[in-house]
Structure 1
């Protein structure tokens, strides 16, 4: 396993981390992801730790809290061997204030997460989304207080736009509060918008990319093929899961799959392994969150490590996955001398 620093922090994280969205299976959305119980979760944690993968990502809304509970049970007696990442901001209760990133909501959300996880601290706590109804100062002061209280060790955010993240970093700097060192963002071969603004910002401000849905919301598993019906086990069979995830035009998807097939023939690797390996070579990426319904999927995803795509293979995938940019990014791309593609190394 390779480890990288998480943004502008001293914390080293594995380049692959395990997401727990498949734990629990409560509700239509998460049932479409998976229904891993405690016994299977323990086995997945065993496999991960044997491979050096020690970071596990969850959220309070995953299966209405069940994912955190199952993760807590799976790591019981070995808390000191793992890093726990979890998230809050979206509605997590029926109360009028059980949503958002207010002081009230965040303190309650963190305390509830600690109880479900069976721990007294969270290694990386991330806002699941931006809360425009709460002053940024209130949110960041609360998070800083939670760090001082020892309940949180590092801060991150998720699904922020560039200005959300930059404003937050500026407020933290102004008051000397703890800053976001991670941004959990969507990025895949069929979703490269992260490169347009969030990647340059991450490199400039040293915010580590924590990548979610690296296989394009289940599209790059190798089981989706042109002219064939969706596999019965695909999350895209669920109208709720399909509508809530990133949208990808079919022509764009199959153009990428064709390129992946070509690289697979050259490397002997599977489509998921190639898609993950491509991400691991992108600037600003600290860790890529993999999901697994079972041990077979987990081991296949772990097979993305220990080798590298060639520059020519990366160029093939880059070309196949390129899509027209929106303004102002297409305009900036026309002036490569002043706005070159981001380069850098998060390690």
Structure 2
């Protein structure tokens, strides 16, 4: 495994991290979480990501239980706050009240004394950014979180936060967590530049486009029965990728990966990690074997001619706009 600093901070995370969105939360999934986290440690992964909103807290509980046997200092743990956790008017957003209350709730669900990296899961139009940043700063001062970050914020919103933190001498944000893969590349327009200037590292999610970039879905073929796309409970996001031009593009990328002697998922992860502004790519896994395969991406260095060939293939889906 290889490790990178998160932005300009001293925090180092594995280039491949393990996420838990749509993955862990039931009794059966707890067994999967235990097995996958055990394999992750074996492979050198030290970074684990979750959120309070994943299964309304069940995702945090599953990650916390799976991490319980391991020395707390041996891993980096992140979670998030923003989405509704109740029916009340203050049970959502980035107000000081919601942040403080949800941080305490997350600590209890995770079974830890502190959270390494605490994310604002989205931008809150109803709360002054200064209020949000002061609350995060207080949590850092109290030792309940060590670092703070944001997820899916725009370049302008990140700039606003950076300016406020500088003016008020608050602890700086160290990370942004956006979606980033071969098909969804909006961060390349402004966010990567703005973040690098501010010393903010990207910890990206969905680098395999919800499994599309594993090659399991074929143009014109029926969906695999045991796949996420075939599960109506969780296929809302992945369905937007299931277009013939996208799947044909995946086939072309698959052929390129075969020529290089690697899997499509390894090629896709190495492509994401090619950018120095990316600190880590979060994978999802329900089986330990998936982790074993994906971590090999850190040893795959893509030369310029391969990156150019990938760019040529991706031109076929320029303008791709997923449904959200």
| Normalised TM-score (structure 2) | 0.92
What pairs with 1:126-165 in structure 2 (closer than 5 Å)?
A: 126-165=119-158
Q: Please say if 1:19 is aligned against 2:19.
A: yes
1:56 to 48, 55, 75: 48
Q: Is the 2:219–2:248 contact (alpha carbons within 8 Å) kept by the matching residues of 1?
A: no
Greater mean deviation of Cα atoms: 102-111 or 309-318: 309-318
3-state DSSP of counterpart to 2:279 = strand
Q: Please say if 1:230 is aligned against 2:231.
A: no
Please name the residue that 2:267 is paired with.
Answer: 274
Q: Please say if 1:6 is aligned against 2:3.
A: no
Please name the residue that 1:317 is paired with.
Answer: 310
Greater mean deviation of Cα atoms: 310-319 or 212-221: 310-319
3-state DSSP of counterpart to 1:219 = helix
Unaligned runs of 5+ in 1: 27-34, 327-347
Unaligned runs of 5+ in 2: none
3-state DSSP of counterpart to 1:288 = strand
Superposed CA RMSD in Å reads 1.9
3-state DSSP of counterpart to 2:213 = coil
Instruction: Map Cα deviations across residues 121-175 of structure 1 (whole Å, 9 max, x no partner).
Output: 0000001100010000100000000000100001110011111111111111110
4+ aligned runs moved over 4 Å, structure 1: 323-326
Greater mean deviation of Cα atoms: 115-124 or 300-309: 300-309
Instruction: Map Cα deviations across residues 246-283 of structure 1 (whole Å, 9 max, x no partner).
Output: 83472441343133122222112111111111111124
Q: Please say if 1:71 is aligned against 2:63.
A: yes
Q: Is the 1:84–1:123 contact (alpha carbons within 8 Å) kept by the matching residues of 2?
A: yes
3-state DSSP of counterpart to 2:209 = coil
2:258 to 236, 254, 265: 265
Deviation at 1:244, TM superposition (A): 4.2
Instruction: Map Cα deviations across residues 45-91 of structure 1 (whole Å, 9 max, x no partner).
Output: 22111211111000001111111111111111422211101111011
Q: Is the 1:16–1:288 contact (alpha carbons within 8 Å) kept by the matching residues of 2?
A: yes
3-state DSSP of counterpart to 2:147 = strand
Q: Please say if 1:46 is aligned against 2:38.
A: yes
Deviation at 1:224, TM superposition (A): 0.6
User: Distance between the aligned counterparts of 1:229 and 1:275, measured in 2?
Assistant: 23
Q: Is the 1:190–1:256 contact (alpha carbons within 8 Å) kept by the matching residues of 2?
A: no
| Normalised TM-score (structure 1) | 0.86
Please name the residue that 2:234 is paired with.
Answer: 241
Please name the residue that 1:110 is paired with.
Answer: 103
Equivalenced residues, count: 317
3-state DSSP of counterpart to 2:269 = helix
